[in-house]
A and B are shown apart, each in its own frame.
Chain A
Amino acid sequence: MLYTNLKHIESAEEHAKILAENENVMVICGRMGPMCIPVYGIAEELEKKYPHVKFYDMEFDHPEAHVIRDLPEVRGFMGIPFTIYYKNGKVVKATSSIQTKPQITSILDEHLATK
C-alpha cells in the first residue's frame, strides 16, 4: 500500500476512467522506497501549482499496474518509480527512477502546459 497524500489508482478500470475524463494526468507507479518517495513528495507539492494536472500514484506491485508496466514507453526501464505523463489519454513522456523537482516541472511545462 502506498501511504502518500496523493490520490491512488486502484485498478486498470479506474486508470482508464481517469485518462478518459482528464486532459493532463501524471501517474507515479512505484513502491514506498528511497527512489519513489521523493517523487511523491514533489508531486504532492505541485498539485497546488498545477491545478490543470491530475496527480496520481499507483502501487507498482499491484496486479493491475500492468497498465503502466506494459506500456511500450517504459520498455528498458530498470528503476522505479515509472512516472508517466498523459495528455488526452496518450503518453507524452515517461521517466524511470528518481527525478528532481526541476526535471519534473520542466516536463509538466513542456508536455502538460495549459493552452
Chain B
Amino acid sequence: MNTNYDTIIIGGGPAGLTAGIYLSRSRVKTLVLNEGTVGGQMILTHEIANYSGVESVSGYQLANIMKKQALSFGCDIQSNISIKNINFEGDEKCVMLEDGDRFTAKSIIVATGGRSRTLGVKGEDKFKGRGISYCATCDGDFFTNKEIVVVGGGNSAIEEAVSLTKYASKVTIVHQFDHFQAFDHAVLEAKRNPKINFMMESSITAFNGSENLESVTIKDLKTNEIKEFKTDGVFVFIGYIPNTDFLKDKINLNKWGEIIVNSDMETSVKGVYAAGDAIAKRFRQVSTAVGDGTIAAMAVSNYIHDLKTKQTASCK
C-alpha cells in the first residue's frame, strides 16, 4: 500500500496527537504513526493533576481524549507499527513500514518521545517480571518482607526507594557515582530511613538465578572488585533516553541523541519538524509536549501552504 499525506507525524504521545489535532482541523491531510500504544509516556502516569484546565485525570484517559479529538477531525492514526526506513530527502518524504506499507508526505513531524533506560546487562531480559521491575507502584507488593535493590541516583530512584520501604524489609540503593542527582530533601529522607542502605560508585554487571532472580553481580567502580550480592528483586530507575536512534545521520542531534530544533520546531532538514520529549530542551511535561506539538503543527501548516503556493505559481 502506498498512501500520500500532507504530513506524517511519527509518534502518538501528547506532542504528536496535539499536532494531529491542529493539522487535521486545518484540513491538512495527516497520518500519525506510533510504534506502541497511542499516548506515549503519558499513559504510564496514574494521575495528572497539573494539566491546566483539568482537575485530575489519568494519563490513559487524557491520551484517549486526545486520540478521539484527532480522529474526529479526520486524522488517520496507526499504532503498534514498526518503521523499516525513512527518507527525509527532497520535497517528498517517505516512511516505510516493516509490513510493507509505504507512506509519503510533504512534511514530517518527529514526536517519538523517550523511553526508560535499561541497564542492558546479562540476565536483564530473562528476569524481567521474575525479580526485575521498572515500576514500584505496579510490582512493589510482590516484594513484601523481601530484600531488594534499587538502581539509580535521580529523583525517581530515591523517591521510589523510599516508597518501596512500605513493602521491602531492606532496600539497597546502587549508584554509579559518589553523589546523587536527586533533590537534597529526597536524599535526606532516604538517608533517614532505617531500611535503606547505600552502595555508591558501584554498578550491576549481571543478574543471576535459575527461574527467578537470586543475586546480582556488582562491580565496585573504584577498586574494580566484583562481588555477588544476594537479593530478591531489583528496581531500575536510571532515567530516560530519546527515541531517536533511527534518526542518526538523517537530522542533527546533540550528544545525548536529542533533536536540535529552532523556535518553530524545525530541524536541520527542510520540511522535517520535531516536538515533545525527543527534542533538546530542559523541561519535559505533558503541557510542554502539547505546546511543542502546537508550534510544530502551525509551522508545518505554513510550510505546506508556502509549498503549495510555490507549486501553483510554477504551473502558471
Could you tell me the distance between the alpha carbons of A96 and B135 in the complex, rounded to whole angstroms? 13
| Alpha-carbon distance between A15 and B80 when the two chains are bound, in angstroms | 28
On whether the beta carbons of B36 and A33 are closer than 8 Å, the reply is no
Contact A76 B80 (CB under 8 A): no
CB-CB nearest in chain B for A41:
B37
Residues A79 and B142 in contact, CB atoms below 8 Å apart: yes
The docked-state distance in angstroms from the alpha carbon of A33 to that of B38 is 15
Cα distance A98–B44 in the bound complex, in angstroms: 12
Nearest CB to that of A46 among chain B residues?
A: B80
Are B80 and A33 interface neighbours, CB within 8 A?
no
Is B135 within 8 A of A33, CB to CB? yes
Does A80 reach chain B (CB closer than 8 Å)?
yes
Binary CB contact string for chain B from 37 to 67 against chain A (1 if under 8 A, 0 otherwise):
1110001101000000000001011000000
A18 within 8 A of B: no
Bound complex: CA of A32 vs CA of B135, how far in Å? 12
Q: Does A38 contact B (CB under 8 A)?
A: yes
A63 contacts B by Cβ under 8 Å: no
Task: Judge if B177 is at the interface, Cβ distance under 8 Å.
Answer: no
Question: Residue B133 at the A interface, CB < 8 A?
Answer: yes
- The CA of A98 and the CA of B212, in the complex, are separated in Å by 17
Would you call B58 and A32 a contact (CB within 8 A)? yes
Kindly name the residue among A33, A77, A97 whose own CB sees the greatest number of chain B CB atoms within 10 A. A97
One of A32, A78, A98 near B60 (C-beta < 8 A):
A32
A interface bracket (residues with beta carbon within 8 Å of B): 20 to 34
Query: B80's closest neighbor in chain A, by CB?
Result: A101
Which residues of B have CB within 8 Å of A42?
A: 37, 80
- Contact among B43, B128, B139, B143 for A37, CB-based, below 8 A: B43
Measured CA separation A107–B186 after assembly (Å): 42
Q: What are the residues of chain A within 8 A of B38 when measuring CB–CB?
A: 41
Once A37-B60, A78-B142, A79-B142 are accepted as A-B contacts, the answer to whether A97 and B128 lie under 8 Å apart by CB is yes
B46 and A78 form a contact (CB under 8 A): no
Given contacts A78-B129, A95-B129, A97-B133, contact A33 B46 (CB under 8 A): yes
Are A45 and B79 CB-contacts (below 8 A) given A33-B46, A34-B44? yes
Does residue A31 face the partner (Cβ distance < 8 Å to B)? yes
* Bound-state Cα–Cα, A98 to B211, Å: 18
Q: Nearest Cβ in chain B — how far from A16, in angstroms?
A: 26
Contacts of B135 in A (CB 8 A): 33-35
Measured CA separation A33–B44 after assembly (Å): 6
Residues of chain A within 8 A of B61, CB atoms compared: 3
Contact residues of A between 13 and 46, Cβ < 8 Å to B:
31-38, 40-42, 45
Q: Which of B139-167 contact A (CB under 8 A)?
A: 139, 142-143
Q: Give B119 Cβ to nearest chain A Cβ, in Å.
A: 16
Q: Mark A65-91, 1 if CB is under 8 A from B, else 0.
A: 000000000001111100000000000
Q: Which residues of B contact A38 (CB under 8 A)?
A: 36-37, 43
Is A41 in contact with B139, judged by CB distance below 8 angstroms?
A: no
- Asked if A78 and B133 make an inter-chain contact with CB atoms under 8 angstroms apart, the answer reads yes
Q: 1/0 per position for B106-135, CB-CB distance to A under 8 A?
A: 000000000000000000000011111111
Partner of B130, one of A32, A36, A41, A96: A96
Judge if B313 is at the interface, Cβ distance under 8 Å. no
Structural contact, B37 and A76, CB atoms closer than 8 A: no
B80 near A45 with CB under 8 A, answer: yes
Q: Are A35 and B142 in contact (CB under 8 A)?
A: no
- For A1-21 the 0/1 string (1 means CB < 8 A from B) is 001000000000000000000
A3 to B139, CA, bound (A): 20
Complex A-B, nearest 8 residue pairs according to Cβ-Cβ distance, in ascending order: A41-B37, A97-B129, A96-B129, A79-B129, A34-B44, A33-B138, A78-B142, A101-B80
